[in-house]
Amino acid sequence: MNRVSVLCSLWGNKYSVDYVNKLYNMVKKNCPMPFDFYCQTDHDGLLPQIERIDFDSELPESTPHEMQASDNYINGLPRLWDRPKLNYWKPKCWGIDGIKIAFDIDVLILNNLEPIFEQYFAQDKAFTGRSWWHNMEHEALPQWRRRYGARNNGGFYMWQDHQVKGIWDDLIENYKFIYFCFHGGSDNFISTRHLDKFAFVSHEHMYSFNRGVKWPDDLAMWQYRPEKIICVFNTDVGYPLHKDIHNSSEAFPWIKEYWQ
Amino acid sequence: MDTFTMDRMIIPVWEWSNALNLIAHKFPYRYKDFAQSISRHHWQHKSNLVEQISMINTHESPVVYVLGSWYGAVLVPLLMHHIPDIKKLYLFDYDPEALEICYTLHERYNHIIKRQLVDVNFEIDKLKSYEEQPNIVINTSCESMWNMNDLLLGPNVLHALQGNNFPETSHINAVPNMDIFKSRCGLTDIMYENEKPYDVDSAHTMYTLIGINHE
């Protein structure tokens, strides 16, 4: 039977290994296929079932240390601040091949991932979350394009290397310009230059805790939606109504039931 | 032959009717963007730029490249008026809808305009590979692009560059002052420089440089 490789990344001090360990537990509970779980990090304290992998350094200025040390900052953050996640697109990175899944470490998995896997296999295309909760009229505006606005949500990716051919070559060739232009993060990069390589997880399976399910009719915040599979906690910096998963779990006991 | 008044108007605004109809019919969500493109400060800064170019330029029948041309609503008619012997005007932008509107907007000049769908930040080599290279390069949105010193198109080409320090998400390269703007533009021979308020009552600044890179 096929195995799937689950990837995540942890750097800096905003999050702890606890997030990774909880993610592992949620995957273990809900993954319909045998899996290996990897975390790209230099932190200690991972569960023994998690294989720690080093920050790949082929992509220039992509390790947390290099990123922090550069003077390429905007709004207090390094431009394209989540560069370590770009290593996911390197073919056979860390010697990992086959079907891969990448999660952000602050997602919640509510139910078995099987329907998402079925959708992925049926389409034979790389897979990511779509920001269905975005105001699509805003997305159509020229200003959205001008600021290289994101349309996908990178809290979840599922792919095989042959389905994302070209992303890594683009990064190696244009990293200097990519870091500079897509200062909002890797989702902006994927959305602007490579979105045609991806199909999207249905809004029936994925939602945002802070933004809802689908524009324009279902945008209620902070909802418990037990029928969904993945819940992301994307926040706008400085917006007090957006809650991260840690604070949410204090305020909403149901989150703790899943996030452990 | 039109009326005395129409013949003397620099900008044939009645020809914008078709473009506005196109926007209303096909791109209604762009009407604010178009309105912004013809606001007062765009006229002020772009007319100043083109007037200066027309005095500095020594090339006859120049080939002109405009990087990040948007609709060209202001720049194109100004260039045609002040440099009437332009041989070819290349407009480069990464926004296909803007280029489509631009086509309708400047129908009377379409025989010398060539539009290219290009993201200058990533495809400058494509521009450098064109057989017809420019005598004049204009970029009025340096604040939205990579540093011009990496995007300059050859020695002895007159570059007319504008950037600002207006804070906006799309302004990935806003400049805090003229010295930094100069260092990012890389012109070795500056023939004109200017800094003016970005807009009426604005606390922000528009920086303008015209010159050549001899290296």
What is the CATH T-level fold of the domain B4-212, as seen in this structure? Rossmann fold (3.40.50)
pLDDT digits (tens, 9 = 90+) for B142-177: 999 999 998 888 888 999 999 999 888 889 999 999
Identify the pLDDT of residue B169: 84
pLDDT digits (tens, 9 = 90+) for A41-83: 999 999 999 999 999 999 999 999 999 898 788 878 899 999 9
Identify the pLDDT of residue A1: 62
Integer Rg of chain A from CA: 17
Integer Rg of chain B from CA: 17
Mean pLDDT of chain A, nearest integer: 95
Grade residue B88 by pLDDT with cuts at 50, 70 and 90: very high
Mean pLDDT value of segment B89-117 = 96
Q: Does A184 touch chain B (CB under 8 A)?
A: yes
Chain B positions touching A147 (Cβ under 8 A) are 168-170
Chain B positions touching A142 (Cβ under 8 A) are 30, 33, 95, 97-98
Question: What are the residue boundaries of the structural domains of chain B, listed by start?
Answer: 4-212
Identify the pLDDT of residue B90: 98
Q: Is the pLDDT of residue B201 over 80?
A: no
- Do residue A180 and residue B97 have CB atoms under 8 angstroms apart? no
Mean pLDDT value of segment A144-166 = 95
SS (HEC) of chain B: CCCHHHHCCCCCHHHHHHHHHHHHHHCHHHHHHHHHHCCHHHHHHHHHHHHHHHHHCCCCCCEEEEECCCCCCCHHHHHHHHCCCCCEEEEEECCHHHHHHHHHHCHHHCCCEEEEECCHHHHHHHHHCCCCCCCEEEECCHHHCCCHHHCCCCCCCEEEEEEECCCCCCCCCCCCCHHHHHHHHCCCEEEEEEEEECCCCCCCEEEEEEEECCC
Q: Is the pLDDT of residue B124 over 80?
A: yes
Contact yes or no for A43/A123 (Cβ under 8 A): no
Identify the pLDDT of residue B170: 86
CB contacts < 8 Å between A and B, how many? 36
What percentage of residues in chain A have a pLDDT greater than 70? 100
Mean pLDDT of chain B, nearest integer: 94
Q: Is the pLDDT of residue B1 over 70?
A: no
Q: Does B144 touch chain A (CB under 8 A)?
A: yes
Peptide bond into B28 cis (omega under 30): no
Q: Does A180 touch chain B (CB under 8 A)?
A: yes
pTM: 0.90
ipTM, two decimals, is 0.83
Identify the pLDDT of residue A76: 81
Grade residue A98 by pLDDT with cuts at 50, 70 and 90: very high
Chain A positions touching B97 (Cβ under 8 A) are 142
Q: Is the pLDDT of residue A203 over 90?
A: yes
Mean pLDDT value of segment B89-104 = 97
Mean pLDDT value of segment B41-65 = 97
Mean pLDDT value of segment A24-53 = 98
